[in-house]
Amino acid sequence: MKNFFIKLSILCVLIVCIDLFVGKTLNFMQSNAKGGMTYRDKFICNELETDILLCGSSRCVHHYNPKIITDSLHLTCYNSGQDGNGIIMTYGRLEIIMDRMTPKAIVYDVIPEFDLLGGEDNHKYLTWLKPYYDHESIKNIFLSVDKTERFKMMSQMYRYNSHIIEVMADFIHPIINTEDNGYVKLEGEMDKLKIKESSPLPQNYIYDPLKLEYINKLIDKTEGKLIFVVSPIWYGMDTTQIKPLMDICKQKGIPFLDFSNDSKYVHNDLYFKDGNHLNERGADEFTRDLVGKINRDHLIH
């Protein structure tokens, strides 16, 4: 029995040493990434200074061209959208950014699934925040999603386990180009194979109370600098699913710009790469339309 506990102790020490070594190695790779989304994330959280900050999911990354915004409004602009993420990740990232600087305006692209509706596993929104867990406000976000995260985050490897390959690739030879102030354009025309058959929309939507909580926290934190936008979608959208946010915006006097059912874009193959994402041509056209609306309504001072 004594030998068993000695071997078990040695094994535990080895596991801890391996975890520390791999975790520190990945931390070094992340800190010294040459490009890709890893470098972009590090830049956003640690170095970014901008007048206008674009936030949201993939529809933010691919729909908003910062150069057009800068040329039109004469203000610096950066696209910090993150594929597959929503309000929980975005709020955490803004906590880090706004410890260092405060933009003049924050444009948030809304996707109901990621920002309002229930049914998603909120753990997935923690992935890009894991390297910043030691930041007190980030720690609180983890615990609001799952209190057991405090124990998981004791592992240094766990902080990178969802994108170890991406960190390594971005350190050695980045594949994705993110040099256009965070914007990633989608080239080419509509791929009809990526159009899903329309299905009957549910009559009653279930909302995630945690997402709504962070929506309200975001509004309070940004103090009148926030503009919510729903960018064009090929299918159009049943806007009843975004009604809670529209009501909040109306109540608090926050601009809410809805392009989801704009006839200029709905079912217009010319502007889309797939059913949910604009191509480069569509992104440029939409960004110009957005800037026009911002100018007409004097939304940025």
What pLDDT, in 10s, does the model give residues 53-77?
999 999 999 999 999 999 999 999 9
The three-state secondary structure class of 238 is: coil
CATH of domain 2-297: 3.40.50.1110
Q: Looking at residue 36, what is its pLDDT?
A: 82
Mean pLDDT score, 21-39:
82
List the domain boundaries for the chain.
Answer: 2-297
CA–CA distance, 301 with 296 (Å, rounded to integer) = 12
pLDDT band at 5 (very low <50, low <70, confident <90, very high): low
pLDDT band at 213 (very low <50, low <70, confident <90, very high): very high
Coarse DSSP helix, strand, coil percentages of the chain, rounded to the nearest 5 percent? 55, 10, 40
The three-state secondary structure class of 209 is: helix
Q: Looking at residue 199, what is its pLDDT?
A: 53
CA–CA distance, 161 with 205 (Å, rounded to integer) = 33
- Asked if residue 66 lies in contact with residue 44, where contact means CB atoms within 8 angstroms, the answer is no
Mean pLDDT of the chain: 89
- Asked if residue 228 lies in contact with residue 249, where contact means CB atoms within 8 angstroms, the answer is yes
- Is the torsion defined by CA of 120, 122, 125, 130 positive or negative? negative
Taking CA atoms, 254 is separated from 55, 79, 223, 286, 298, in Å, by 16, 21, 10, 21, 13
19-23, 75-79, 297-301: range with highest mean pLDDT? 75-79
pLDDT band at 197 (very low <50, low <70, confident <90, very high): low
Mean pLDDT score, 112-125:
92
Q: Looking at residue 132, what is its pLDDT?
A: 92
Q: Within 13 Å and on the Cβ side, how many CA atoms surround 249?
A: 17
Instruction: Tell whether the model's pLDDT for residue 153 goes beyond 60.
Output: yes
pLDDT in tens, 231-249: 999 999 999 999 999 999 9
Q: Looking at residue 212, what is its pLDDT?
A: 96
pLDDT band at 18 (very low <50, low <70, confident <90, very high): confident
pLDDT band at 7 (very low <50, low <70, confident <90, very high): low
Q: Looking at residue 196, what is its pLDDT?
A: 73
